[in-house]
């Protein structure tokens, strides 16, 4: 059963009038099914952060809502219930820090090395940039979420670089490479990144299948960066 069917059935069968009551309802409704509870809690908390992210610059635009739908790829028959959750989160007085902390807690003691948190931040960047610019308030939002996720400055800069205009992004930063890297080392790093960010790997580490659009965006950015780095390094290879 898809995550959206699970969420739709949950919302339909649960009396919810505020987003703060959603999380507690998830805990009790899926108490005997921890795997489904984790996936539903992940998705609902991500919906909340997306709604808060869209409001960070002061206004929620249709472009940002479309970006949310691009990342989540919600089937038509479930969009009404997901939109209801999204609107409840927008209206909730709770700060986004609480939802970010909840997402981080899904990783338990391995939070610092939890790739799933990088996946979430990628989705938030996609929504933030959808109106053509990353605003100062959005960057503060994203930076705070990254701190709560225990992502260091280098990791944050790498994610940021993936979302800069394709022609402006520093390909070495996108790939996490030093300027004096050898061609063979750079190629190994590129192959590692492609392997780690394959959609199957995201699913294996707990990201719902419906969230895999993030992997496709990330792989495209990694491939574009490698094209530039490969040409750059080959130009300096000894003949």
Q: What is the model's pLDDT at position 236?
A: 67
Q: Tell me the three state secondary structure of residue 212.
A: coil
The share of the chain scoring above pLDDT 70, in percent, equals: 83
Q: What is the pLDDT of residue 229?
A: 94
List the chain domain ranges: 3-234
Tell me the torsion sign for CA atoms 134, 140, 141, 147.
positive
Query: What 3-state DSSP class applies to 47?
Result: helix
Q: Give the residue among 78, 61, 102 at the shortest CA–CA distance from 1.
A: 78
pLDDT for 175: 93
Contacts with 183 (C-beta within 8 Å, 6 or more apart), sequence order: 230, 233, 234, 237
Q: How many CB atoms lie within 10 A of CB 154?
A: 9
Chain segment 96-154, per-residue pLDDT in tens: 888 788 778 766 544 555 777 888 888 888 878 877 777 888 899 999 999 998 998 88
Quote the pLDDT of residue 206.
63
Which one-letter DSSP state was computed for residue 16?
A: -
Residue 19: Cβ within 10 Å count: 23
Q: Is 42 exposed, middle or buried (0-12, 13-18, 19+ CB in 10 A)?
A: buried
The predicted pLDDT at position 60 comes to 63
The whole-number pLDDT of residue 66 equals 72
Provide the token pair at 187: 């190629």
Task: With beta carbons less than 8 A apart as the criterion, state whether 116 and 107 touch.
Answer: yes
pLDDT tens-digit profile, the chain (239 residues): 678 888 888 888 777 666 767 777 777 888 787 777 777 877 887 888 888 887 766 666 677 667 777 677 778 888 888 888 888 888 776 778 887 887 787 665 445 557 778 888 888 888 788 777 778 888 999 999 999 989 988 889 888 988 876 556 789 999 999 999 999 999 999 999 999 888 888 777 667 776 777 788 889 989 999 999 999 998 766 54
- CA neighbours within 13 Å on the CB side: how many for 187? 8
Structure tokens at 40: 């539903």
């Amino acid at each position: 059963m898809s995550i959206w069917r699970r969420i739709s059935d949950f919302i339909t069968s649960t009396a919810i009038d505020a987003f703060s009551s959603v999380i507690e309802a998830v805990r009790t409704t899926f108490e005997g099914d921890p795997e489904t509870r984790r996936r539903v809690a992940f998705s609902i908390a991500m919906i909340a952060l997306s709604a808060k992210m869209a409001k960070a610059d002061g206004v929620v635009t249709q472009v940002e809502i479309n970006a949310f739908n691009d990342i989540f790829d919600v089937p038509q028959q479930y969009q009404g219930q997901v939109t209801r959750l999204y609107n409840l989160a927008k209206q909730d007085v709770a700060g986004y820090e609480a939802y970010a902390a909840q997402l981080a807690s899904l990783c338990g003691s391995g939070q610092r090395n939890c790739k799933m948190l990088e996946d979430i931040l990628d989705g938030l960047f996609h929504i933030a940039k959808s109106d053509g610019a990353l605003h100062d308030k959005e960057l503060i939002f994203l930076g705070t979420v990254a701190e709560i996720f225990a992502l260091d400055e280098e990791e944050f800069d790498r994610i940021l670089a993936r979302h800069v205009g394709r022609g402006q992004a520093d390909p070495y930063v996108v790939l996490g490479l030093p300027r004096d890297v050898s061609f063979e080392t750079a190629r190994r790093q590129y192959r590692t990144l492609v392997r780690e960010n394959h959609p199957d790997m995201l699913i294996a580490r707990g990201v719902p299948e419906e969230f895999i659009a993030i992997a496709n965006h990330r792989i495209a950015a990694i491939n574009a960066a490698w094209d530039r780095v490969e040409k750059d390094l080959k130009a300096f290879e000894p003949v």
